[in-house]
Amino acid sequence: MIMSTGIKPVANEIHRRLAEAFQPLALEVIDNSEQHRGHGGHREGVETHFTVNLTSTVFAGKSRVARQRLVYNALADLMDNPIHALSLKLDTP
């Protein structure tokens, strides 16, 4: 199942880039920004905190750190602004 929660522009851009880069069997992008209200990095009305669950054959044979680097490279220009925090669960089929 490939899905993106909500119609938020940053979450949708994350979803688009990861779908293009990894041809995933499963992809879920969750905007957790409201759960971080009052914490560091939260900005009112801005998507800043995300969880990504991604299953792709691209990750086969790669370490957890190598998988994370691939995702961070795909999102490089979004990291730090607007993305403050990114929780990743990266699997192979």
How does the average pLDDT of the chain come out, rounded?
A: 86
Of residues 33 and 1, the one with the higher pLDDT is 33
Q: How high is the pLDDT of residue 63?
A: 98
61: which residues sit within 8 A by CB, 6+ positions away? none
> Which pLDDT score, from 0 to 100, does residue 64 have?
97
Predicted model pTM: 0.83
C-alpha 9/C-alpha 78 separation (Å) is: 12
The helix (run of H) or strand (run of E) holding residue 75 is none
User: Mean pLDDT, to the nearest integer, of 26-54?
Assistant: 76
Q: Provide CATH code, domain 2-91.
A: 3.30.300.90
Question: What pLDDT, on the 0 to 100 scale, is given for residue 84?
Answer: 87
Residues present in the chain in total: 93
pLDDT higher than threshold 80 for residue 41: no
